[in-house]
Amino acid sequence: MLPYDSLIIVDKENQLPVYKQITNRLIGLIQKGMIPPGTFFPGTRQMAELITVNRKTIINAYEELLTEDWIESVDRKGYRVIPQLPVIKPRSFQPPSHFSPPSSTAFISSEGLVLQCPPQPEHRDTKSSDIVVNDGFPDPELAPFKEISKIYRDKGISSRIKQLMCLRDEGGLPLLKDAASLFLNETRGLNIKKNDIVITRGAQMAIYITAMLLLSKDDHVVVTEPNYCFANDIFEHAGAHINKIGVDDEGPDINQLEELLKRVPVKVLYIVPHHHHPTTVTMSAMRRQKLLKLIEQYGFYVIEDDYDYDFYYKNSPILPLASAPHHGKIIYIGSFSKLLAPSIRVGYLIAAPDIVKRAIVLKRLIDLRGDTFIEYMLAQMIITGDLTRHINKSNKLYAQRCDFICNLLTQKLSHAIEFTKPLGGMAIWLKFKSGFSINRILSNASHAGLCMIGMSFSKPGDPNDNGIRFGFASLTEEEMIKAVDILVKITS
């Protein structure tokens, strides 16, 4: 569901009746393509709760939309935008000019490949009794194995999947591309169709494909510091020059980006605006607006990595940059793996038509056929609503775990760490205070039975120095207590 509570702001001091304000705003969202034709609105009671108005007000707003032929009433299902309604605003992923691929990206040598990820300190082999704190992965205990096995056992479905396995891959199973585009439109305010999306084996493949398409040797890429290190590795492998901008409590420093743009011919910006990796901070609205203006002014491409958009606990998620007009300059990347389990490798990239076509060709060179069974299973979960129910269930549990670990850390470890409670996601960015070297902490923790494998960052003078991602989503309360007790012991 779209975050209507942040999209519809009611001004009760305005002379215009509240229901009319809501009507006008919904019409505006339909005209912009953020609410596509055929989209069902929340029920009147649910919408009233979302935007904190009286239910009668919503009823009046919906009746106004019915009268003006923007929506229709569907028996037993509710109100939806008229499917035949023409999309007034063109999709953001349809650029005015065609994308010209770089000429030298098809053949990139792996000789001299340098990995940017900081090495983890050596530790002994883990035992079954050890506590493993990961980078922020979903709990495999919550994975929908019941739904998967049900599809696997269905002979009729199994026969259909065998037929699909023989078809040529066109960027993913058509059924999943269709279902995924609908899911992403409803949750992220996009306005895409199945031909705008490429299904990949996880978001990592999507980042790699995009980089290989956009970058030539010696092109300039901008990333944050710290950053998702495996993205840095990809850009380094492509032969690009990596330029870095800082991250603070409002997200990536767009002022630093602007200064870079004045001096350097930037080809690509890689950015994680929602739950930045690794620090988990969400980019402020003001910086988002400035970034969109810079994209329009300088014409560089943006790889928007939105790896865990669906997990939020206190407020509705901020819509992606890609939901705003950008003339095809944003390549939007995400992952279903974060919703299900790390080993279920399904990601996607959404881009302008020419980039999508080339991405499909490049994907075939490294993955001739996708995982037909998993893609079919995921499509069915979206269509039946099982995925949404799974997300809602997971969100509640992860929110409880987030509260639990944050309270635990505050009570027991405040002498050694600083952190900001995240608004969502599956990890906390822990910053150890001076005197507590992160490398020494990792080594000592490993020998004490605590294996911390989240990304760490050490750069004296940087505001994020001496930090590490502490993934809590896959830990039980008992495991959290043991992990924190070990940290208390080695920092006392």
Q: Within this chain, do residues 153 and 166 fall inside the same structural domain, yes or no?
A: yes
β-bridge mates for residue 304, sequence order: 271, 332
Distance of CA 80 to the CA centre of its chain: 27
Q: Within this chain, do residues 194 and 342 fall inside the same structural domain, yes or no?
A: yes
Q: Within this chain, do residues 433 and 356 fall inside the same structural domain, yes or no?
A: no
Which of 358, 384, 410 represents a domain boundary (last residue)? 384
DSSP secondary structure code for residue 309 in this structure = T
- Which domain, by its residues, includes 212? 145-384
Rounded to an integer, the average pLDDT of 180-207 is 91
CA torsion through residues 428, 432, 437, 440, sign: negative
Q: Express each pLDDT in 147-163 by its tens digit.
A: 777 776 776 666 666 66
Q: Within this chain, do residues 313 and 437 fall inside the same structural domain, yes or no?
A: no
Beta carbons of 487 and 413 less than 8 angstroms apart: yes
pLDDT score of 370 more than 90: no
Q: Within this chain, do residues 463 and 325 fall inside the same structural domain, yes or no?
A: no
**Count of alpha carbons within 13 angstroms of residue 425, beta-carbon side:** 25
The count of domains in the chain is 3
In-domain check, residue 98: no
Q: Express each pLDDT in 296-353 by its tens digit.
A: 999 999 999 999 898 888 766 788 999 888 989 999 999 998 888 877 889 999 999 9
Alpha helices in 142-173 (DSSP H): 145-153, 155-165
In-domain check, residue 121: no
pLDDT score of 108 more than 50: no
In-domain check, residue 125: no
Q: Express each pLDDT in 385-416 by its tens digit.
A: 889 888 999 999 999 999 999 999 999 999 99
| Mean per-residue pLDDT over the chain, rounded | 86
Predicted pLDDT at 164:
67
Q: Within this chain, do residues 342 and 402 fall inside the same structural domain, yes or no?
A: no
Q: Within this chain, do residues 170 and 265 fall inside the same structural domain, yes or no?
A: yes
Rounded to an integer, the average pLDDT of 64-86 is 84
Q: Within this chain, do residues 343 and 221 fall inside the same structural domain, yes or no?
A: yes
In-domain check, residue 226: yes
Task: Read off the CATH number of the domain in which 152 is found.
Answer: 3.40.640.10
Query: 209: pLDDT confidence band, cut at 50, 70 and 90?
Result: very high
Q: Within this chain, do residues 402 and 378 fall inside the same structural domain, yes or no?
A: no
Q: Express each pLDDT in 427-451 by its tens digit.
A: 999 999 988 999 999 999 999 999 9
Q: Within this chain, do residues 282 and 335 fall inside the same structural domain, yes or no?
A: yes
Which of 384, 413, 428 represents a domain boundary (last residue)? 384
Rounded-to-integer distance, Cα 320 and Cα 274, Å = 8
β-bridge mates for residue 246, sequence order: 225
Q: Within this chain, do residues 354 and 309 fall inside the same structural domain, yes or no?
A: yes
Task: Read off the CATH number of the domain in which 487 is found.
Answer: 3.90.1150.10
In-domain check, residue 124: no
Which of 384, 413, 445 represents a domain boundary (last residue)? 384
Task: Read off the CATH number of the domain in which 28 is found.
Answer: 1.10.10.10
pLDDT score of 97 more than 70: no
Both structure tokens of 361: 């060709």
Query: Where would I find the beta strands (DSSP E) of 336-477?
Result: 347-350, 417-418, 427-432, 450-452, 456-457, 467-471
Predicted pLDDT at 155:
63
Highest mean pLDDT among 5-19, 55-69, 123-137: 55-69
Is the overall model pTM greater than 0.75, yes or no? yes
Predicted pLDDT at 163:
63
